[in-house]
Structure 1
Amino acid sequence: MWLWERYTSPFKLGSLGIMGMNQRNVNYIGRYNPRSLYPLVDNKLKTKHIAVAAGVTVPKLIGTITQQHEVGKIAEMVKDWPGFCIKPARGSGGKGILVIVRQEDGQYFKPNGSPSSAADLERHISNILAGLFSLGGKPDFVMVEDLIHFDNVFDGYSFEGVPDTRVIIFKGFPVMSMMRLSTAASDGKANLHQGAVGVGICLRTGRAVRAVQYNEPIRYHPDTNKDLFELEVPHWLKLLNLAASCYEMSGLGYIGTDMVLDKKRGPMLLELNARPGLSIQIANAAGLLPRLRQIEKLGNVKMSVDERVAYAMEHFGVFPARD
């Protein structure tokens, strides 16, 4: 039995270094994330622009739709793209993301096989423009991106969706990581509050530490029966370096980096989050506070991306390094 299941009172959780929302908001987000930089991460298009400028790999942008009178151009925009993703630029929590894996005879098919018409796509885009999925319900605009073709190594670990890796970066150091795996309950989206599976990942090895769904420990994927404890992320060092480099790219001290592994392009940045959630602690059965405070004790030491990643792997790993 994990310590997390044995000690559940607020006092015991605090003794394990579990960070609460108020601590996160005041001591880390408020202190290390200048509000003037929030638009760089709250707006996914701006994130993509600064990532490209910094040489960080991101999904290809097919096009944007910013005005209602442009909605009808979606069919022409995607006619040469078998699969694509429509998303709000200022969306949160995975809301408003529409994934199309193929198109045939004027129909657009979702990962679960259900078809949509061009009119359905236009209606969805109109809802995005109206701010239905945006932060604060403000008017938004639409990004259309190339579909990510996830690496075959993850076959069976995710159901009808692309698995992603969340890495919390503090002052440029990776401090905790998990994979988010979609399920039937989450409708193919990798959001834990919608029913996706969270798998804690060892920072030293990229291997699974623990798995949860709805904050309860599990071992097997609920739809594919894949043994989640066998999961191991390939290209782990490259992925961590890419995530850590987002510190210089964004200027934010406490961020969540969402990474994906494309079979052709390798690790790439999906998006940044200036207010990353706390469920990553549940997935890892470990608290963030001891790791964050250890980094704070280093002061303003100057270290390269490679050096910061090496430090994190040495000090925050769970499993021994492999030869």
Structure 2
Amino acid sequence: MALLHTHGILGLNARNLLYIKPFNPKKAVAFADDKLKTKMFLGSRGIPVAKVYARIENRRQIRDFDFSSLPSECVLKPNEGYGGEGILVLRGRRNGIFLENGKMPVTERELRNHMEDILDGKYSLSGHRDMAFFEQILVAHDCFARLRPAGLPDLRIIVFNLVPVMAMLRIPTAESGGKANVHLGGIGIGVDIAKGVTTHAVQYNRLIKALPHGGSPAGIPIPFWDEILLISSRIQHITNIGYIAVDITIDRDMGPTLLEVNARAGLMVQVANLAPLRSRLERVTGLKVSSPEKGVRLGQELFGEKRTQHSEEKSPPVLGTRETIAVSGDGGTVEIAARIDPDQQRSTFSSDLVTELLERGMLEATAEGNTYRVKFTLGGKKVQTAVESAAVQGPERAIIGRRDLSGFLIDPLRTDTPSTRIRYRPLAPSGTQTCESLRRTATRRARRWI
């Protein structure tokens, strides 16, 4: 810990007096502690959250609960739990009996007893009566495979004044019982705010050079990084919790997904980053930040590790709420006006547009029926994705959802309105122009339309 200077480090007393007390009123703290209320509130406002299968509020509901109504894989949680305590991860059944973490059988009687403990407040942060709920189990994204986690990893983002100031990747281990909590023996890995790349790692309050399997914790890129920062800043903007920690995981199917918010987060994040948190908080105190998008941009500019002059990495493109996409195919390029909507998960093309693009050979049907694979250019970036066919309200014929907005920043004040007329540009008849040059031409045209 000698690498950390005492100046600028945030201690518990300073955190409580300088940031929690003035910026997190009791009502906001109580809201953050209520996981179900928080998820329902944020989920209805476009923040991706896991599905809740059932909630248990009293002993009669425990007595009458039908466990066969649950899927084979789910998570039982206390609503106001803390530190990962009281959570049961149920993976599969054997002879109709749930298996904890896919191994140890848990009978219905044991589950009912555990639910009673939750209702009695055994795992509650305040010690008061609580409620239990069963939730969708999330599956770790493939990007975490090289870390060999013993459970579901997550990212903790500290946000203050709409600015993401520090971040940490938390890795569950066998010592932590498969939970991502660092104080239980999980591994905390600092993340460079600008690049979304891991830096230093800590376990049991000590810096470590290697992960348990021998791999290096440094230099691992986190996908969807800009989207994760933007979700975190948006959550603070929506909840008005002034000093907040947002815990997000990356699900294999859903992408970035909110786990919970915390109004009194621990301070191990500054050890994992070898950087003092208080200095960063002081640097953004009093700044006028008008939107989450600007908060993300500011955080990356202020707190990202300095890039070399020869770095090929570019700033993420900034999109307005309406843009033009260029859909590419063997026969040419189609330029289409699209609405940018991060509140919608998957991108959508109107039914007539899908028909037209199928005729041109620019879409490929999938096994899901109304879903199609497509390649298009947006803001100078190539996107390969699957879109749904559905009705699209408004003058645009396409909606780009948050799954395809990773790597972009969105400026809601940007009001450029592209033409709603579709333009088709066929390939040049001469054989002198290469496919690569055609792609570059399509990209330049799309930019001019934007």
Decide: shared fold, TM above 0.5: yes
- 1:74, CA displacement in angstroms? 4.8
Matched residue, 1:129: 119
Note if 1:52 corresponds to 2:56: no
- Give runs of aligned pairs for residues 1-323 of structure 1, distance below 5 A: 4-6=1-3, 12-13=5-6, 15=7, 17-72=8-63, 73-78=65-70, 81-111=71-101, 113-222=103-212, 224-298=213-287, 301-318=288-305, 320=307, 322-323=313-314
Matched residue, 2:442: none
TM norm structure 2: 0.66
- 1:136, CA displacement in angstroms? 2.4
In structure 1, stretches of 5+ residues that fail to align are none
Match of 2:191, as an amino acid? I
Cα deviation digits, residues 170-222 of structure 1 (max 9, x gap): 01110000011000100000111100000000101111110010011113222
Contact 1:63 1:77 in 2 (8 A): no
Contact 2:199 2:219 in 1 (8 A): no
Change (3 A) 1:83 1:193: same
Change (3 A) 1:85 1:319: farther
- 1:242, CA displacement in angstroms? 0.4
Residues in 2 aligned to 1:167 and 1:221: alpha-carbon distance in whole angstroms: 22
Residues in 1 aligned to 2:59 and 2:34: alpha-carbon distance in whole angstroms: 19
Residues in 1 aligned to 2:187 and 2:197: alpha-carbon distance in whole angstroms: 15
Contact 2:189 2:272 in 1 (8 A): yes
Cα deviation digits, residues 86-132 of structure 1 (max 9, x gap): 00001111111111122232222222622222222222111111111
More strand by share: 2
Change (3 A) 1:6 1:280: closer
Cα deviation digits, residues 225-283 of structure 1 (max 9, x gap): 33222422111001110011011221111011000101111101110000011111111
Query: More relative contact order in 1 or in 2 (CA 8 Å, sep 6+)?
Result: 1
Match of 1:44, as an amino acid? K
Residues in 1 aligned to 2:207 and 2:226: alpha-carbon distance in whole angstroms: 27
Contact 1:74 1:122 in 2 (8 A): no
Contact 2:191 2:273 in 1 (8 A): yes
Change (3 A) 1:86 1:74: farther
Change (3 A) 1:158 1:30: farther
- 1:154, CA displacement in angstroms? 0.4
Contact 1:106 1:118 in 2 (8 A): no
Percent of residue pairs bearing the same amino acid type: 33
In structure 2, stretches of 5+ residues that fail to align are 315-450
Match of 1:317, as an amino acid? G
| Count of paired positions | 309
Contact 1:41 1:272 in 2 (8 A): yes
Contact 1:112 1:160 in 2 (8 A): no
SS in structure 2 of the partner of residue 155 of structure 1 = helix
Residues in 2 aligned to 1:74 and 1:315: alpha-carbon distance in whole angstroms: 52
Residues in 2 aligned to 1:248 and 1:53: alpha-carbon distance in whole angstroms: 15
SS in structure 2 of the partner of residue 87 of structure 1 = strand
TM norm structure 1: 0.91
Contact 2:90 2:102 in 1 (8 A): no
Q: Which protein is bigger by CA-based radius of gyration?
A: 2
